[in-house]
Structure 1
Amino acid sequence: MTKEECFYLGKIVGKFSFKGEVLIKLDTDEPETYTEMESVFIDYNENLVPFFIDSSSLHKSSLLRVKFEDIETEEDAEDLIGAELYLPLTFLPQLEDDKFYFHEIIGFEVIDAGHGNIGTIVSINDSTAQALFEIKKGDKEILVPMNDEFIQKVDKPNRKIYLKTPEGLIDLYLG
């Protein structure tokens, strides 16, 4: 299993008990979705290593408290702090046609109502207050906020996203 075949689930942020339990900060709006997992992949020494789960429960609503098989002591748990967790992409729930996961739309063509084809999505920048489509057209980069009001249609079968951007936005980059 490689990282390309997986999605980032979260990070081990602390120990919980002297029995080797850990607390995981999940990268999701719905942490309750992940309380019944049997295993996860942990990025350990640059490898994705499968870890099997004995038990898990929500802790203070946003953290997942987990007891892994074979992690029996505080020292074992300490060794995992800071490690990132991954799950195979096949574990992601199917979304409605107009919804998408960020990794799904990389490579999609972007068609703007006013400018036609404005390029291809090369990545999503979600490190800002509002996520941005990073679109490449030739040697130019176009940044468009991922705003529901701008997205007219997501055509997954044809790998296209149709946008209606505010007047002047695209001209900032192509003008």
Structure 2
Amino acid sequence: MQKKDCFFVGKVVKKYSFKGELLIKLDTDEPELFLEMESVFVEQHKTLIPFFIESSSLHKSTLLRVQFEDCYDEESADALIGRELFLPLTFLPELEGTKFYYHEIIGFTVIDKNFGAVGTITAVNDHTAQHLFVIDRDGTEILIPINDQFILELDRASKTITMDVPDGLIELYLS
């Protein structure tokens, strides 16, 4: 399995017990969706290795407490702390309407209701408090906040996102 065919699930943050149990900080608003996982891919040395889950439960509602097969001691658990976990993209449920996954809208064209064609989404910056569309307009980078109130329509067939961006925001990048 290659990383490009997967999505980030979360990260092992610490040990839970001396019997190899681990706590995973999930990258989701709905951690309960991940309670039924049978396995995950753990990134080790830039390779995704499958780990099978023996048991899992929610811990303090935001962390997933996991017991991996063949990980029954502190030494095995220590080796996994800080590791990132992934699942195949096929595990993601299909979204409808204006809901989307960040990876699926790369290459979409952004059209503003008033401005017209803005450019092509090349990335999503999710390292800021407000996540941003990173848009290329003929070599000029334009950043637009990802905000449900701005997104009017998402057309997967034509790969376009129609938005109503506040007046002047796009023009700031073009002057």
TM-score, normalization by structure 2: 0.98
1:75 aligned counterpart, secondary structure: helix
- Note the C-alpha offset of 1:18: 1.3
Alignment-derived partner of residue 76 in structure 1 = 76
1:143 aligned counterpart, secondary structure: strand
Q: Which runs of 4+ in 1 moved over 6 A?
A: none
Structure-1 separation of matches of 2:97 and 2:168? 29
2:28 aligned counterpart, secondary structure: coil
Q: Are 2:98 and 2:151, in contact at CA under 8 Å, matched by a contact in 1?
A: no
Alignment-derived partner of residue 164 in structure 1 = 164
Q: Are 2:20 and 2:72, in contact at CA under 8 Å, matched by a contact in 1?
A: yes
Tell me which amino acid in the other structure corresponds to 1:106.
Answer: I
Q: Are 1:97 and 1:156, in contact at CA under 8 Å, matched by a contact in 2?
A: no
Structure-2 separation of matches of 1:46 and 1:161? 34
- Note the C-alpha offset of 1:60: 0.6
Q: Which runs of 5+ in 1 are unaligned?
A: none
The CA RMSD over aligned residues, in Å, is: 0.8
Number of paired residues? 175
User: Deviation string for 1:46-98 (max 9, x for gaps)?
Assistant: 21000000000000110000000011101100010000000000001111222
Alignment-derived partner of residue 94 in structure 1 = 94
Q: Are 1:58 and 1:65, in contact at CA under 8 Å, matched by a contact in 2?
A: yes
User: Deviation string for 1:13-54 (max 9, x for gaps)?
Assistant: 011111111100000000000011000000012210000000
Alignment-derived partner of residue 20 in structure 2 = 20
Q: Percent identity?
A: 61
Structure-1 separation of matches of 2:24 and 2:166? 40
User: Deviation string for 1:99-134 (max 9, x for gaps)?
Assistant: 100111000001111221110000111111111110
Structure-1 separation of matches of 2:36 and 2:3? 22
Q: Are 2:109 and 2:119, in contact at CA under 8 Å, matched by a contact in 1?
A: yes
Structure-2 separation of matches of 1:148 and 1:78? 40
Structure-1 separation of matches of 2:17 and 2:152? 49
2:75 aligned counterpart, secondary structure: helix
Structure-2 separation of matches of 1:142 and 1:69? 47
1:135 aligned counterpart, secondary structure: strand
Alignment-derived partner of residue 32 in structure 1 = 32
